[in-house]
Amino acid sequence: SKMNGTSRIAEYEAHMQDIFVKKIRLENDLQIALEKEELSLHYQPKVNMSLGTISLEALVRWNHPQLGMISPAEFIPIAEETNMIHDIGRWVLRQACRDLKKLQQAGFYDIKMAVNLSARQFLDKQLENIVSHIFATEKTSPSFFVFEITETAIMKEPAEVVPILQKLKQRGITIAIDDFGVSYSSLNYLNRFPIDAVKIDRSFIRNISDNQKGEEIVRAIISLSHQLHLFVTAEGVETEEQVRFLLEKGCEEMQGYYFSRPVPFEQLPVVLEHVQSL
């Protein structure tokens, strides 16, 4: 009925209003979250199956005083829109350097550390200077670091991104393409960008043991990446079946709940021991 339709529209408008109000609130609160030390890093292991070595990915968390834990999937886009991503990105890299140093002091000498960089950071002309400054002041070697960037990030301004990637690589940083395979142009840029590794998106890994075509696609991605001398990581690995399939296809590195969820720094020693025992 007309009444029903009208009230549904009103409901929808109220819903949109809520989303809008929350977004404005997050925008404002994010400004001070860094100063109030509400951001923290969780770490998720990545396991190199053939070498038996472990690396880590730093994943940012926001513990909001009233709203609780807010997912980076929700606040990173806001940080990008408001340009706060630059401050957050610097903070993430610095904190990751400090935590890595603590791990080294605790005897984990050759752990590599991956951080996520958003497109906005890559289009910043100052990126190389900022990054060099952080590594210098934290007295950390860039060669311990992997920068994970999404394909959409590098596709935005390919001509500008290539020299930036080259400079970062010259400093010893490993460049990995995150969420690999999601964009329509994945195959198109593989030979155009100076990259070292690809991280196959979880949406593909999910299909392993689920459907034949899905498996074929993963097999093809691994095989193509190897022909291009790229290191392959699989993200979102949750089952033993997936581990077996990926091992058999020669995937070098795996990450996902099967091994460990992302954990706060304090829990890392226990998690690293657990993963090493698998």
Q: Which stretches of the chain bind ligand C2E, using CB under 6 A? A: 44, 59-60, 71-73, 76, 92, 116-118, 148, 178-179, 202, 235-238, 256-257, 262
| Residue 72 near which of ligand C2E, Ca ion, none (CB within 5-8 Å, type-dependent) | ligand C2E
142 binds, among Ca ion, ligand C2E, none (CB under 5 to 8 A by kind): none
Contact 149, 127 (CB under 8 A): no
Q: How far is the CB of 115 from ligand C2E (least distance, A)?
A: 6
Q: What is the smallest separation between the CB atom of 91 and ligand C2E, expressed in angstroms?
A: 9
Residue ranges of E strands in the chain: 39-48, 53-64, 68-70, 112-116, 145-150, 174-180, 197-200, 231-234, 253-254, 263-264
CA 213 to the chain's CA centroid: 26
Q: Which amino acid type is present at position 63?
A: N
Of 200 and 243, nearer to Ca ion (C-beta) is 200
What is the smallest separation between the CB atom of 17 and ligand C2E, expressed in angstroms? 26
Instruction: At 116, list the tokens.
Output: 């996520």
- Nearest approach in angstroms of CB 87 to ligand C2E is 12
Q: Pick from ligand C2E, Ca ion, none: which does 71 bind, CB < 5 to 8 A by kind?
A: ligand C2E
Q: Which is nearer to ligand C2E, 142 or 236 (CB)?
A: 236
Alpha helices in 82-179 (DSSP H): 85-105, 119-122, 127-137, 151-156, 158-170
Contact flag: residue 55 with Ca ion (CB under 5 A): no
Phi, psi of 125 (to 5 degrees): -60, -25
- Examine residue 148 and tell whether it contacts Ca ion (CB under 5 A): yes
Output the residue with the shortest Cβ distance to ligand C2E. Answer: 256
DSSP 60: E
The answer to whether 63 touches 40, Cβ cutoff 8 Å, is: yes
Residues in the chain: 278
Kindly state whether residue 151 participates in binding Ca ion, applying the rule CB under 5 A.
Answer: no
> Does residue 179 bind Ca ion (CB under 5 A)?
yes
Interface ranges with Ca ion (CB under 5 A): 116, 148, 178-179, 201-202, 235
